[in-house]
Amino acid sequence: MQSQTDVVVVGGGVTGTAIARELSRYQLDVVLVEKSPDVCTGTSKANTALIHAGFNADPDKQKGRLNVRGNELYHERIQHELDVPIEWRGAMVVATDESERPKLEELLAKGQDNGVDGLEILEREQLLKKEPHLTDDAVAALWAPTAGIVNPFELTVGFANNAVENGASVELEAEVTDITQTDAGFTVETARGEIDAETVINAAGLYADEVSAMVGVDDFEITPRRGEYYLYDKQFDIDIETTIFPVPTEVTKGIVVTPTDEENLLIGPNAQEIDDKRDKATTRQGLDKVLDGAQKTVPDLTKKDVIKEFAGLRPAIKETGDFRIQIEEEVPGFINAAGIQSPGLASAPATAELVVDLVEELHGDLEEDPTFDPNYSGPPKVRHMSHEERAALIEEDEAYGQIICRCETVTEGEIRDAINQPVPAQTVNAIKRRVRPGAGRCQGGFCGPRVVEILSEELGIPMTDVKLEGEGSELLTGEIKQPLLERVEERSEVNADD
Amino acid sequence: MTESREAVTGATNVMRREEHDLVVVGGGPAGLAAAQAAYDEGVEDIVILERDFELGGILQQCIHNGFGVHYFDEELTGPEYAQEFIESVAERGVDIRLETMVLEVTHDRTVYAVNDEDGMTELDAEKVILAMGCRERTRDALDIPGSRPAGVYTAGTAQRFINMEGKLPGEKAVILGSGDIGLIMARRMHLEGAEVEAVLEIMPYTGGLTRNVVQCLEDFDIPLRKQQTITEIHGTDRVESVTVQEVDDNFDPIPGTEYEIECDTVLLSVGLIPENELSVDAGVDLHQVTGGPIVDETRETNVDDIYACGNVLHVHDLVDWVTEESMIAGRSAARSLQDRVETRDEPIEIDKTQKLSYVVPDRISTVDPDREELPLYMRVHAPMEEVFVTLSSGGEQLTRDFQRRAEPGEMITLNVDTETLAELPEPRLELDVVPREEV
C-alpha cells in the first residue's frame, strides 16, 4: 500500500465508492480503504435497491435534497456511464382506505415542492391495470414515474472499478485502526499499513461514528437499524411491475413490494433498532412482519418460491434522522459522510458531488483530469443474451461457453472476469455480487464447489483458504481425514511421552 | 436421418444447426438408461447432452454401496452402477456431449445447447427425453431464520466437497433431515473424522430408507431426533451453533423446548426438487405433488414428443427404479418414432385415494401388445404396516399386493398385468392402501 496520498476515503460502500470515483475526475491522488475483502459488504449489499423519486424526502434535510439530485444524476449520467442495470419502473404509494387519501395529497404536494417530475394521483381502476395483483382494498395511489430500481452490487462495484480505472486505489482488508492529526493533515493507520493524507473522508457506514471519534469528533452515534427481506424465485406466478409502498406512517415507510433488476421479487424491510453492528441475523418475528406487511398491498404473496431471506443494517443517526455530510470545523481536512441510511443509495451520486464541493471548499478549485473516462463496462452477461449473441461471444472466447451456474446461466468466463477486475472479487460472495453464481434458486448448491475451485486456481491459494465473505468465513475446514490424523498424532505423542 | 454438424457460417450467425431422432437432456442414470433402451429398440441417431465433465450424474459422487440390488442383483457403488451404463451407451455409439448445458427446449423440440468447444448448437429433435434430475431444497426454501455464516450446506454439496474434492466442509455437524442423503452424509462425515452431533427430523418418522438408518446412524451411535427442527442458525462468519426445537403435529415449534447445539456446520437433507425450469419453458405441465411433469405410461408429457424420466419426473429413492422407468421412456420414444404405438380411443385415468401422496403415471394412453406388465409407482402419505395396495376399476378389484411396511420414504411399485387392462368396467383405475384386516 502506498504511504502518501491527497485523499483517503474510508469505506467501500456505495457512498465511499461513489465519492472515490467522483474525486478521480480531478487531479488528485485518492486511496479508498475498506476493512472487508470486498467493496459492498455492509449496508450497500442488503437493502431495497431503490432509486427513490424523492416525494417522501424532507426538503429541509440533507437527505431530501440529495435524494432528488441523486435521482437526476442516475437519469442523466450514471445509467449511461456505468454498465449497471437501472430500470425506471416507477413507484406507487397505495392507499387501502379512503382515510389515507389525504396523506397521498400531502406526499404529492411535498414531492412537487421537491421538484419531482410526473407525480399524479391514480385511481383504483388505473392501479389495477398497472398491477393486477394489487389488493382489492386499493382505493388510490400516488404514482411516481421517476422512481427506479438498481442493482446495488453492480453499482458499487462499478463505481469502485471506474475509480481505479481513473487512477484511484482501492485497498481491501485495510481496516482503519486509528487516525492521528499531523502538520500536513492526517496519518491513517490501517491493517495494511500507514498512509498520510491531507484530507480524510469518512464514509464508514455503520462504523462512521467510531472512525469519526478517532479524530475527536464524537458528538454523534450510529444506531444500526435492521431490516429483513424475502427474495423470490424469478420463475414466480405473481408478476409485479412497479415498486409498491403502503401509505407511510410516522414510524415507518412500510413494507415495500418491488421487482429487482433480475426479475426476482423482493419484499421488505421491517425496521428494528439493535445494538450489535455485526448482527445481520433474520428473525422469525421480523420475517413474519415482512410477509404480513407485503400482503397488505399484494395479498397473494406467500412463502412459496422464496429463494432467500436476508437482513441489512442501516446506519442511522437517531438524533437528527438525517445524513451528516460536512467538513468537521474543529478538525480541518476531515469530512464526514455519515448517517447514510435510506435514501442513501438513491443519493449516492449527489452525495459524491457534495463531497467534491466540500473538498474544493478546503483546497480551492480542483483541476479536472483530462484523461478521466466516466464510462465503465463489466463482464458480458450471457444470461441476458440471445442464442445468436451467445454464439458470437463464444466464438471470441470459449470461456463464455462453459456454464458454471445453471440457475443464473453464469459462465466460467464471467467468473474469471470478476476475479480479474480492477477491484478483484476474492471471495465467493464477491463473485456472486458481480456476476451472480449462487444467486438463484439452488443458492449455490451445484456451482458452489466449482466457484471455490476457480477462485483457488485464479488466486493461487488452496481451496481451504477460500472464503465466503469476511475473515473467518472459510468454506472448508481442511482435508478429509485430517481430524482423524490429528487424533492419531496426539495419541502417538501421548504414547511417546510415556 | 442426416446429421449436419458443420457450423452455419454467416456474418452474424455462428450457431451450429443439427437434426436428430432423439435428444436426451441429461446423462445421469435416467438419461443413460433412456438412451440405451431407445437404441435397443432400433433408434441409432441419439445425442446425450450432459452438463458435467463426465456421464453418470450424481451417482459419481455416491461412492457408498447399495446401488443395483434390484436391477443387477448385486450391490454396487454409485460410480460402478453408472459405469455399466456409460459403457453400454459408448458401445452403442451414442453421441455424447459433455460439459454441455441445455439453455432452452422449445415446445416444438428445438434444443439449444452450449459448450466451449462447439459454442451454441441448435438441435432439432424428433423426440426429446428430459432427464435433468433434481436439486436439493435449501435453507431459504425452509425459511430458517438466523445469520448467514459459512458452514451451511445442502448434504449433496457437502458430499461433492468430500468425495470429489477431498475436502472436509466442517468438523462438528448437525444434520437437518433424515432423507437418504442426510443419513449417508452423517456416516460419511463421521468416517472422515468430523463429529456428527445429531440428525434432526421434523416428521415423526425418517424420510430415508430403513437400511440407511441402521447402517449410517445406529451403527455409529449417531442420534436421530424426530419431531425436532432447527429454528435459528447462529454465528457471524462461521456457524457457531443452532437452536433446536421440538415441533407439534402441525410442525410448529413448541415454545419452551428450545436448546442449543454447538457446531460449525449444518447439513440440510430436507427434500429434493425436480429441476423442471427447462420443462416449464417448453410448455410442460407439472404435477402439484411430485413437482415433475404429468405423464402417461410411456412417460410422454402433455407436449407431444417430449418425454420425462428419472428424478426430473418424480424423486426416486433407488436408482434401480430410475433405470426401469427411464427404459420405459426410451423404449416408448423409440417405438413412437417408428410409428409402432397405438393410441387408445380414450385414455385410462389413474386415480388414487388420500392414503397415497401420488402415483406415476397419471394415465394410460396407448396399447402396446409387446408389453406384458405395466409398473405403477406410488408413495404413501404416512407409514403403515401390513397393508395391501389395491387396484380397482368401477368398484371391482383387479389386483392387490401385500406390503409388510409402507413408508413415505420408500416408493411402492405395483406391477399390473396388461391383460387386466383389456376389459375394464370404466376407463378409470383407482389405487388404494388397505390394512390387511380390512381386506
- What's the pLDDT tens digit per position in A407-432? 999 999 999 999 999 999 999 999 99
The cell for B242 is 443452532
User: Cβ contact (<8 Å) for A475 and B237?
Assistant: no
Q: By the CB < 8 Å criterion, does B115 face chain A? A: yes
Q: Which of A156-160, B95-99, B407-411 has the lowest mean pLDDT?
A: B407-411
Mean pLDDT of chain B: 94
Cross-strand partners of B375: B415
Q: By the CB < 8 Å criterion, does B238 face chain A? A: yes
Q: By the CB < 8 Å criterion, does B120 face chain A? A: yes
Domains B1-136+272-340 and B138-270 share a fold: yes
| Confidence at residue B389, expressed as pLDDT on a 0 to 100 scale | 97
Over residues B180-205, mean pLDDT: 96
Q: SS3 of B172, please?
A: strand
User: Cβ contact (<8 Å) for A476 and B169?
Assistant: yes
User: Cβ contact (<8 Å) for B192 and A470?
Assistant: no
User: Cβ contact (<8 Å) for B122 and A387?
Assistant: yes
| Confidence at residue B139, expressed as pLDDT on a 0 to 100 scale | 93
The backbone torsions φ and ψ at residue A486, rounded to the nearest 5 degrees and listed phi first, read -65, -40
The residue among A393, A443, A463 with the most chain B CBs within 10 A of its CB, best to mutate, is A443
Distance of CA A28 to the CA centre of its chain: 26
**pLDDT reading at B11 higher than 70:** no
Q: By the CB < 8 Å criterion, does B58 face chain A? A: no
A1-86+149-222+317-378: what CATH class? alpha beta
Asked if residues B253 and B268 have their Cβ atoms less than 8 Å apart, the reply is no
Longest alpha-carbon distance in chain A: 87
**pLDDT reading at A363 higher than 80:** yes
Asked if residues A51 and A149 have their Cβ atoms less than 8 Å apart, the reply is yes
| Confidence at residue B10, expressed as pLDDT on a 0 to 100 scale | 45
A382-465: what CATH class? mainly alpha
User: Cβ contact (<8 Å) for B194 and A479?
Assistant: no
Over residues B16-20, mean pLDDT: 97
| Confidence at residue A495, expressed as pLDDT on a 0 to 100 scale | 75
Over residues B124-142, mean pLDDT: 96
d(CA B64, CA B396): 45
**pLDDT reading at A256 higher than 60:** yes
Q: How many CB pairs under 8 A join A and B?
A: 175
User: Cβ contact (<8 Å) for B150 and A444?
Assistant: no
- Single out the residue of A382, A389, A391, A406 nearest to residue B17, CA to CA: A391
Topology of domain B1-136+272-340, CATH: FAD/NAD(P)-binding domain (3.50.50)
Nearest to A307 among B140, B161, B164 (CB): B140
- Domain B138-270 indexed as CATH 3.40.50.1000: no
**Chain B, nearest residue to A393 by Cα:** B119
Residues of B in contact with A402 (CB under 8 A): 99, 115-116
Asked if residues B280 and B186 have their Cβ atoms less than 8 Å apart, the reply is no
| Options 2.60.40, 1.10.10, 1.10.1220, 1.10.510; CATH of B347-439 | 2.60.40
Residues of A in contact with B153 (CB under 8 A): 448
Whole-model pTM: value is: 0.95
Catalytic entry in A52, A75, A80, A387: A52
Residues in chain A: 498
Active site residue A384: no
| Confidence at residue B6, expressed as pLDDT on a 0 to 100 scale | 43
**pLDDT reading at B439 higher than 80:** no
Residues of B in contact with A444 (CB under 8 A): 157
Contacting residues for B10 by C-beta, under 8 A, at least 6 apart:
none
User: Cβ contact (<8 Å) for B119 and A463?
Assistant: no
Q: By the CB < 8 Å criterion, does B277 face chain A? A: yes
In tens, the pLDDT along A89-125 reads: 999 999 999 999 999 999 999 999 999 999 999 999 9
* Single-letter residue type at A20: A
**pLDDT reading at B4 higher than 80:** no
Asked if residues B89 and B61 have their Cβ atoms less than 8 Å apart, the reply is no
In tens, the pLDDT along B420-432 reads: 998 899 999 999 9
Q: Which of A300-309, B5-14, B110-119, B176-185 has the lowest mean pLDDT?
A: B5-14
Q: SS3 of A57, please?
A: coil
In tens, the pLDDT along A326-347 reads: 999 999 999 999 999 999 999 9
Report the half-sphere exposure of A123 (CA within 13 A, side-chain side).
1
In tens, the pLDDT along B259-311 reads: 999 999 999 999 999 999 999 999 999 999 999 999 999 999 999 999 999 99
Residues of A in contact with B232 (CB under 8 A): 281, 283-284
DSSP E strands: which ranges in A208-328?
223-232, 243-246, 256-259, 265-268, 272-273, 306-316, 324-327
Label residues B167-183 b or e (16+ Cβ within 10 Å = b).
Answer: bbbbbbbbbbbbbbbbb
In tens, the pLDDT along A181-232 reads: 999 999 999 999 999 999 999 999 999 999 999 999 999 999 999 999 999 9
d(CA B293, CA B280): 9
User: Cβ contact (<8 Å) for B167 and A476?
Assistant: yes
DSSP E strands: which ranges in B116-214?
119-130, 134-136, 152-154, 167-168, 172-176, 195-201
**DSSP string of A323-344, one letter each residue:** -EEEE-TTSTTEEEEE---TTH
| Confidence at residue A492, expressed as pLDDT on a 0 to 100 scale | 83
**pLDDT reading at A395 higher than 90:** yes
Residues of B in contact with A309 (CB under 8 A): 140, 143, 145
Nearest to B140 among A308, A484, A487 (CB): A308
User: Cβ contact (<8 Å) for A472 and B148?
Assistant: no
B14 — pLDDT class (breaks 50, 70, 90) = confident
A236 — pLDDT class (breaks 50, 70, 90) = confident
- Single out the residue of A384, A452, A460, A375 nearest to residue A415, CA to CA: A452
Residues of B in contact with A486 (CB under 8 A): 193
H/E element, A132:
none
**Chain B, nearest residue to A236 by Cα:** B277
Q: By the CB < 8 Å criterion, does B147 face chain A? A: yes
**pLDDT reading at A16 higher than 50:** yes
User: Cβ contact (<8 Å) for B119 and A444?
Assistant: no
**pLDDT reading at B1 higher than 60:** no
Over residues B108-128, mean pLDDT: 97
User: Cβ contact (<8 Å) for B192 and A468?
Assistant: no
Positive or negative: CA dihedral B140, B141, B144, B150: negative
- Single out the residue of A303, A292, A241, A239 nearest to residue A270, CA to CA: A292
The question of ipTM being above 0.90 is answered as yes
User: Cβ contact (<8 Å) for B141 and A307?
Assistant: yes
| Confidence at residue B29, expressed as pLDDT on a 0 to 100 scale | 98
- Domain A91-145+224-312 indexed as CATH 1.10.287.3510: no
User: Which of the 8 DSSP states describes residue A22?
Assistant: H
| Confidence at residue B13, expressed as pLDDT on a 0 to 100 scale | 65
**pLDDT reading at B2 higher than 70:** no
**pLDDT reading at B12 higher than 60:** no
Q: What percent of chain A has pLDDT over 90?
A: 93
Other residues' Cβ atoms within 10 Å of the Cβ of residue B234: 16
| Confidence at residue B422, expressed as pLDDT on a 0 to 100 scale | 86
Residues of B in contact with A399 (CB under 8 A): 116
Label residues A392-401 b or e (16+ Cβ within 10 Å = b).
Answer: bbbeeebbbb
Q: By the CB < 8 Å criterion, does B156 face chain A? A: yes
Over residues A59-79, mean pLDDT: 95
**Chain B, nearest residue to A466 by Cα:** B150
**pLDDT reading at B7 higher than 50:** no
**DSSP string of A96-111, one letter each residue:** SSGGGHHHHHHHHHHH
Over residues B342-358, mean pLDDT: 96
Q: What are the residue boundaries of the structural domains of chain A, listed by start? A: 1-86+149-222+317-378, 91-145+224-312, 382-465
| Confidence at residue A488, expressed as pLDDT on a 0 to 100 scale | 87
Residues of A in contact with B28 (CB under 8 A): none
d(CA A360, CA B145): 47
CA distance A233 to chain B (A): 10
Residues of B in contact with A441 (CB under 8 A): 135, 138
The owner of cell 448448437 is: B121
User: Cβ contact (<8 Å) for B119 and A391?
Assistant: yes
A497 — pLDDT class (breaks 50, 70, 90) = low
Asked if residues B33 and B322 have their Cβ atoms less than 8 Å apart, the reply is yes
| Confidence at residue A489, expressed as pLDDT on a 0 to 100 scale | 87
SS3 readout for B295-364: CECCCECCCCCEEECHHHCCCCCCHHHHHHHHHHHHHHHHHHHCCCCEEEEEEEEEEECCCEEEEECCEE
Asked if residues A208 and A284 have their Cβ atoms less than 8 Å apart, the reply is no
Q: SS3 of B200, please?
A: strand
Q: What are the residue boundaries of the structural domains of chain B, listed by start? A: 1-136+272-340, 138-270, 347-439
Mean pLDDT of chain A: 96
Domains A91-145+224-312 and A382-465 share a fold: no
**pLDDT reading at A74 higher than 80:** yes
B208 — pLDDT class (breaks 50, 70, 90) = confident
**DSSP string of B382-403, one letter each residue:** S-EEEEEEEEEETTEEEEEEEE
Nearest to A479 among B13, B104, B166 (CB): B166
d(CA B245, CA B377): 35
